[in-house]
């Protein structure tokens, strides 16, 4: 098995970290990996904000938790459950030694006059950012770090912008928690390739026979 396949199969979403600080030099290497991701038109529509100060992490987690608490209450979830859920969510971010806020910008993407094509162009930017985030996760694993990709900022963009003074043209998309692992989770179940892949037309499942050995 190639070293890259080994990296893919051993990487996990890590949610618990030691108290060891993550050097900024290492964080820079993660962001350098992001820079090598493919992007539509090579527009590189990503922006990253690194948070290592406890004050900033606490302020961000508090603002996000308040939005989530309000949404949970509007769904008529019991108050005690709302508070415990919001508290647990905030602690995920405040306890991480470093956070990387992944943002999207359409600044260098193509501009279209019709709404449909412009919507498609935004999809291209989102896909590009996703590729960059995946590079960060893989590089973190290679560097002996743990990381977890959270999509929470999507649900509270205004709150995130307000706390971190992010301009309107930049859209918060995801938080990546970074730290040295304090857990070793097992691989969750993975579907077989044949369960989600098709050949030539839909519902014609991809079936590949195992390669015969040279001696057969």
- CATH code (residue 125): 3.40.109.10
Q: What span, in angstroms and rounded, lies between the C-alpha atoms of 173 and 156?
A: 10
Is 43 a member of any domain? yes
CA atoms within 13 A on the CB side of 148: 19
Is 30 a member of any domain? yes
Indicate the number of domains in the chain: 1
**pLDDT, mean of residues 166-173:** 97
Residue 110 — very low, low, confident or very high, per pLDDT cuts 50/70/90? very high
pLDDT in the model for residue 80: 79
Is 29 a member of any domain? yes
Q: What span, in angstroms and rounded, lies between the C-alpha atoms of 92 and 88?
A: 7
**pLDDT, mean of residues 183-198:** 91
pLDDT in the model for residue 207: 74
Is 25 a member of any domain? yes
Range with lowest mean pLDDT among 32-46, 58-72, 75-89, 123-137: 75-89
Q: Which of 127, 55, 125 is nearest to 94 (CA)?
A: 55
Residue 41 — very low, low, confident or very high, per pLDDT cuts 50/70/90? very high
Q: What percent of the chain has pLDDT over 70?
A: 95
Domain coverage including residue 73? 3-190
Range with lowest mean pLDDT among 5-19, 68-82, 165-179: 68-82
Q: Which of 181, 100, 182 is nearest to 141 (CA)?
A: 181
Q: What is the sign of the dihedral through the CA atoms of 178, 181, 183 and 189?
A: positive
Is 13 a member of any domain? yes
Is 205 a member of any domain? no
User: What's the token pair of residue 3?
Assistant: 């070293």
Is 37 a member of any domain? yes
Q: What span, in angstroms and rounded, lies between the C-alpha atoms of 90 and 116?
A: 37
Is 42 a member of any domain? yes
Q: Strands of 98-105's sheet, edge to edge? A: 46-51, 98-105, 170-179, 146-150
pTM of the model: 0.91
pLDDT in the model for residue 211: 60
């Amino acid at each position: 098995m190639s070293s890259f396949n080994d990296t893919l199969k051993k990487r996990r979403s890590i949610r618990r970290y030691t108290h060891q600080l993550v050097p900024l030099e290492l964080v820079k290497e993660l962001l350098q990996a992001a820079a090598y991701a493919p992007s539509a038109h090579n527009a590189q529509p990503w922006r990253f904000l690194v948070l290592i100060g406890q004050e900033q992490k606490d302020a961000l987690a508090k603002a996000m938790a308040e939005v989530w608490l309000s949404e949970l209450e509007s769904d008529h979830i019991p108050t005690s459950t709302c508070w415990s859920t919001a508290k647990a969510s905030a602690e995920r971010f405040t306890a991480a030694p470093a956070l990387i806020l992944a943002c999207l910008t359409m600044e260098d993407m193509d501009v279209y006059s019709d709404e449909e094509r412009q919507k498609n162009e935004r999809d291209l930017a989102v896909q590009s950012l996703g590729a960059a985030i995946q590079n960060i996760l893989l590089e973190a694993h290679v560097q002996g770090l743990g990381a977890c990709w959270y999509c929470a900022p999507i649900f509270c963009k205004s709150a995130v912008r307000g706390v971190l003074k992010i301009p309107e043209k930049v859209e918060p998309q995801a938080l990546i928690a970074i730290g040295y692992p304090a857990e070793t989770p097992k691989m969750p179940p993975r579907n077989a390739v044949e369960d989600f892949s098709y050949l030539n037309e839909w519902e014609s499942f991809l079936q590949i026979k195992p390669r015969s050995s040279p001696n057969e």
